[in-house]
Amino acid sequence: MNKLNVKPADGKLGIMVVGLGAVTSTFFTGVLMARKGLAKPVGSMTQYDKIRVGKGEDKKYLSYYDIVPIAKLEDIEFAAWDVYPADAYRSAVYAEVLQLKDIDPVREELEKIVPMKAAFDKNFAKRLDGDNVMEGKTRWEMVEQLRQDIRKFKSEHNCSRIVVAWAASTEIYVPVNEQVHGTLAALEKAMKDNDTTHIAPSMCYAYAALAEGAPFIMGAPNTTVDIPAMWELAEKMKMPIAGKDFKTGQTLVKSGFAPIIGTRCLGLSGWFSTNILGNRDGLVLDEPENFRTKEVSKLSTLESILMQDKQPDLYTDYFHKVRINYYPPRNDNKEGWDNIDIFGWMNYPMQIKINFLCRDSILAAPLLLDLCLLSDLAARAGRYGIQRFLSFFLKSPMHDYTKGEVPVNHLFQQYTMLKNALREMGGYEADEEID
């Protein structure tokens, strides 16, 4: 019998999500439907994947639940904050991701999830105009109100643990400012001084979560927890943080496809990615300052897989461009095009075209589930700070850039990190090399 390196998942797990839009309502509905046996949680690693533990004669393939104690879907309680007052049922209907037949069987449960007032600042998402917001609060007062929300929900729903995840709109780009974001003391001072330029509302949620002893996950490309001050808070509170930006469609393809080019030693002269989407996320991203945040996140993927310094003949100065176009008729059904210009023997050019007709929230919902369950697991395993093993789920994985660390974006290396972490927590040997 292996010695588990993690505390049991006793009691209920409260999952509190910032933003009750397309992704969150699809996630809540899917979990509630799966709990009733009316839908399958397809795409979720925690619910489906099996990994090898042991070697030779001892080799077995086990599901995550057989390796480590992960919270069961039955033990989850949901809550959300949003700028708009619509409950989870109305939000799911509005999002038009799911058909009514897949929402109505859990209508009653969804209607009970009424969003709490948002810590919001219109300057960070100009296209949003809801009235379910905390009025007249400074950044520090937002933190205090959010901490109260977390405590209240935890006690009223009798939860033993909480995880907070951001699946709200992408905020405008907040560049890291050493003076404000460099240390926890400076961050707290800026919050108390109500520095509304450098302190995004998302930072208030992250601070509140960590201060209440809950892991925090950043599902958008916001720099919220990507700053040394938050790493310090996570270490102080011994809580995991993960981010940023769910790796759903085009970037998933990129991080899985680029290794084909790299492994086969083909050259790259350009990669042009464009897509159309018409949901509220697309509307917010239509604002150049919000798109900038997404662009920075999406661009980082290739550079750490196909590296100029490792293969100057193959990967010097390739042209990488990412575009997102707001196009309402498609709603949540995003269409992505990738044009890849590669070259082969004696530099002869070739092209690859990928056309992905995906469903944004259908891809994001299982990632949100896995990130929540695995962050809760990590906390019970005593892991804190940046959770690199969760990079698999993220477009722009967190890393310590102050020490020159390069993030792992290669999908299969990320998968190895995920498997090794699970093996370790389950008391097995982390036996795969990341190469």
- Write out the residues near ligand NAD by the rule CB under 6 A: 18-24, 81-84, 118-120, 125, 128, 130, 167-170, 201, 219-220, 245-246, 248-249, 279-281, 360-361, 363-364
Min dist CB 122 to ligand NAD, Å, is 10
Residue (245 or 424) nearer to ligand NAD, CB: 245
Q: In this structure, what token pair is assigned to residue 8?
A: 């049991």
Min dist CB 424 to ligand NAD, Å, is 28
Min dist CB 98 to ligand NAD, Å, is 13
Q: In this structure, what token pair is assigned to residue 261?
A: 């080019």
Min dist CB 19 to ligand NAD, Å, is 3
Taking CB atoms, the residue at the shortest distance from ligand NAD is: 21
Residue (53 or 358) nearer to ligand NAD, CB: 358
- Is 88 in contact with 110 (CB distance < 8 Å)? yes
Min dist CB 307 to ligand NAD, Å, is 24
Q: State the burial class of residue 355 (Cβ atoms within 10 Å of its Cβ: 0-12, 13-18, 19+).
A: exposed
DSSP result, 363-383 = HHHHHHHHHHHHHHHHHHTT-
Angle, in degrees to the nearest 10, between helices 228-237 and 184-192: 100
Residue (205 or 318) nearer to ligand NAD, CB: 205
Q: Which helix (H) or strand (E) holds 336?
A: strand 335-343
In 3D space, the residue among 141, 42, 26 whose CA is nearest the CA of residue 78 turns out to be 26
DSSP result, 196-252 = TTT--HHHHHHHHHHHTT--EEE-SS--TT-SHHHHHHHHHHT-EEEES-B--SHHH
In 3D space, the residue among 401, 19, 12, 400 whose CA is nearest the CA of residue 205 turns out to be 19
Min dist CB 209 to ligand NAD, Å, is 13
C-alpha distances (whole Å) from 58 to each of 4, 53, 54, 420 are 17, 8, 5, 17
The Cα–Cα gap between 204 and 66 comes to 36
Min dist CB 179 to ligand NAD, Å, is 24
Residue (72 or 122) nearer to ligand NAD, CB: 122
